[in-house]
Structure 1
Amino acid sequence: MTRVLFTTAAMAAHVRPAVPLVKELVEGGHEVAWYTGPEFEETVTGTGARLVPALAGTEFGNTLARAGGKGRGFSGLNRLVLELFLKPIPAYVRELAVVFDDFRPDVIVSDHSFRAGLLVAEQRGVPRVAFSAGPLNLSSRDTAPFGLGWRPSSSMPGRLRNRFMNWLLYGIVYRERQRVLGRVRADMGLPALGGYSVDWVVRTCDRYLQTGVPEFEYPRGDLPTSVRFVGPTQPEEDGTAPQPTWWPEVLRARAAGRPVVFVTQGTIATGLSRLILPTIEALAQEDVLVVATTSGHDPDTVLPAGRRPDHVLLAPFVPYGAMLPLADVLVTNGGYGGVQHALSHGVPLVVSGTSEDRMETNARVVWAGAGISLRTDTPTVAMLRRAVATVLRDPSYRARAQALQRALTAMSGTGRASAAILAAAAAGRAPTSGM
Structure 2
Amino acid sequence: MSRFLFVVPPLVGHVNPAVGVAAALVSRGHRVAWAGEPALVRRLAGPDAVVHPCPPPGAGRGPRGEPAVARPADIRGPEALRFLWERFLVPLAEAMAPGVRQAVAAFRPDVVVADQQALAGALVAEDLRLPWATSATTSAEFTDVLATMPRVAAWNETLLRDLRSRIGDPAGSGDPRFSPHLVLAFSTPELAGRAVRGGDRVRWVGPSLTARPSAPFPWERLDPERSLVLVTLGTANTDAGARFLARSAEALRARADRVQAVVVDPEGTLGAEAEAEAGAGAGSGSGAGPADRDVIVLPVVPQLELLARADAVVCHAGHNTVCEALWHGVPLVVAPIRDDQPVIAGQVADAGAGVRIRFARAGADAIGAAVDTVLREPGPREAARTIARAFRGAGGAPAAARHLEILADGRKDET
Question: What does the per-residue CA deviation read over 1:61-108, in whole Å, with 9 as the maximum and x for residues that have no partner?
Answer: 586431254652232122212221124434422332222222111110
Alignment gaps of 5+ in structure 2: 273-285
1:53 corresponds to which residue? 53
The structural deviation recorded for 1:170 is: 0.6
Question: What does the per-residue CA deviation read over 1:355-412, in whole Å, with 9 as the maximum and x for residues that have no partner?
Answer: 2221111111111110011132452112112111222221101000010011111121
Q: Is the 8 A contact 2:327 2:391 kept in 1?
A: yes
- The answer to whether structure 1 residue 386 and structure 2 residue 366 are counterparts is no
Question: What does the per-residue CA deviation read over 1:255-312, in whole Å, with 9 as the maximum and x for residues that have no partner?
Answer: xxx3332222321112653332212212333232222233345699466656997533
Cα distance in 2 for residues equivalent to 1:127 and 1:10:
23
Secondary structure of 1:184's aligned partner:
helix
Secondary structure of 2:313's aligned partner:
strand
For the structure 1 residues 311 and 222, does the alpha-carbon distance in structure 2 shift closer, same or farther, using more than 3 Å as the test? closer
User: Which residue type is aligned with residue 394 of structure 1?
Assistant: E
Cα distance in 2 for residues equivalent to 1:304 and 1:166:
42
1:15 corresponds to which residue? 15
Instruction: Pick which of 273-282 and 2-11 moved more.
Output: 273-282
The alignment of Structure 1 onto Structure 2 pairs a total of residues equal to 395
Q: Paired residue for 1:295, among 238, 260, 265?
A: 265
For the structure 1 residues 429 and 186, does the alpha-carbon distance in structure 2 shift closer, same or farther, using more than 3 Å as the test? farther
- The answer to whether structure 1 residue 273 and structure 2 residue 267 are counterparts is no
- The answer to whether structure 1 residue 406 and structure 2 residue 375 are counterparts is no
The structural deviation recorded for 1:200 is: 4.4
Q: Paired residue for 2:162, among 177, 183, 191?
A: 183
For the structure 1 residues 415 and 6, does the alpha-carbon distance in structure 2 shift closer, same or farther, using more than 3 Å as the test? same
What pairs with 1:23-38 in structure 2 (closer than 5 Å)?
Answer: 23-38=23-38
Cα distance in 1 for residues equivalent to 2:50 and 2:4:
11
Alignment gaps of 5+ in structure 1: 146-161
Cα distance in 1 for residues equivalent to 2:414 and 2:58:
32
- The answer to whether structure 1 residue 237 and structure 2 residue 212 are counterparts is yes
- The answer to whether structure 1 residue 250 and structure 2 residue 227 are counterparts is no
The structural deviation recorded for 1:423 is: 1.0
Cα distance in 1 for residues equivalent to 2:195 and 2:304:
32
Cα distance in 2 for residues equivalent to 1:227 and 1:201:
12
Cα distance in 2 for residues equivalent to 1:306 and 1:413:
39
User: Which residue type is aligned with residue 160 of structure 2?
Assistant: L
Instruction: Pick which of 399-408 and 131-140 moved more.
Output: 131-140
Q: Is the 8 A contact 1:288 1:311 kept in 2?
A: no
2:355 corresponds to which residue? 372
- The answer to whether structure 1 residue 315 and structure 2 residue 298 are counterparts is yes
Q: Is the 8 A contact 2:209 2:397 kept in 1?
A: no
User: Which residue type is aligned with residue 181 of structure 1?
Assistant: L
Cα distance in 2 for residues equivalent to 1:48 and 1:289:
42
1:2 corresponds to which residue? 2
Secondary structure of 2:88's aligned partner:
helix
Cα distance in 1 for residues equivalent to 2:162 and 2:246:
47
What pairs with 1:24-173 in structure 2 (closer than 5 Å)?
Answer: 24-43=24-43, 46=46, 48-55=48-55, 57-59=57-59, 61=61, 64-67=68-71, 69=73, 72-138=76-142, 140=144, 144-145=145-146, 162=147, 165-171=148-154
Secondary structure of 1:386's aligned partner:
helix
Cα distance in 2 for residues equivalent to 1:269 and 1:323:
20
The structural deviation recorded for 1:44 is: 5.8
Q: Is the 8 A contact 1:73 1:359 kept in 2?
A: no
The structural deviation recorded for 1:348 is: 0.5
Instruction: Pick which of 27-36 and 107-116 moved more.
Output: 27-36
Cα distance in 2 for residues equivalent to 1:58 and 1:274:
28
Q: Is the 8 A contact 1:4 1:32 kept in 2?
A: yes
User: Which residue type is aligned with residue 185 of structure 1?
Assistant: R
Identity of aligned residues (%): 27
Q: Is the 8 A contact 1:10 1:61 kept in 2?
A: no
Question: What does the per-residue CA deviation read over 1:121-178, in whole Å, with 9 as the maximum and x for residues that have no partner?
Answer: 11111110010111240465xxx43xxxxxxxxxxxxxxxx5xx1424312xxx1x32
User: Which residue type is aligned with residue 395 of structure 2?
Assistant: S
2:251 corresponds to which residue? 282
Q: Paired residue for 2:228, among 250, 255, 260?
A: 260
TM-score between the two structures when normalised by the length of structure 2: 0.85
The structural deviation recorded for 1:30 is: 1.4
2:344 corresponds to which residue? 361
Cα distance in 2 for residues equivalent to 1:60 and 1:43:
17
1:351 corresponds to which residue? 334
Question: What does the per-residue CA deviation read over 1:18-54, in whole Å, with 9 as the maximum and x for residues that have no partner?
Answer: 1111111222221111011133153266174301111
Q: Is the 8 A contact 2:265 2:297 kept in 1?
A: no
Secondary structure of 1:225's aligned partner:
helix
Secondary structure of 1:55's aligned partner:
coil
- The answer to whether structure 1 residue 212 and structure 2 residue 175 are counterparts is no
Cα distance in 2 for residues equivalent to 1:238 and 1:222:
35
CA RMSD, 1 decimal: 2.9
1:425 corresponds to which residue? 408
Question: What does the per-residue CA deviation read over 1:4-28, in whole Å, with 9 as the maximum and x for residues that have no partner?
Answer: 1111111212212211111112222
For the structure 1 residues 53 and 44, does the alpha-carbon distance in structure 2 shift closer, same or farther, using more than 3 Å as the test? farther
Cα distance in 2 for residues equivalent to 1:91 and 1:333:
29
Cα distance in 1 for residues equivalent to 2:196 and 2:93:
32
1:151 corresponds to which residue? none
Q: Is the 8 A contact 2:207 2:396 kept in 1?
A: yes
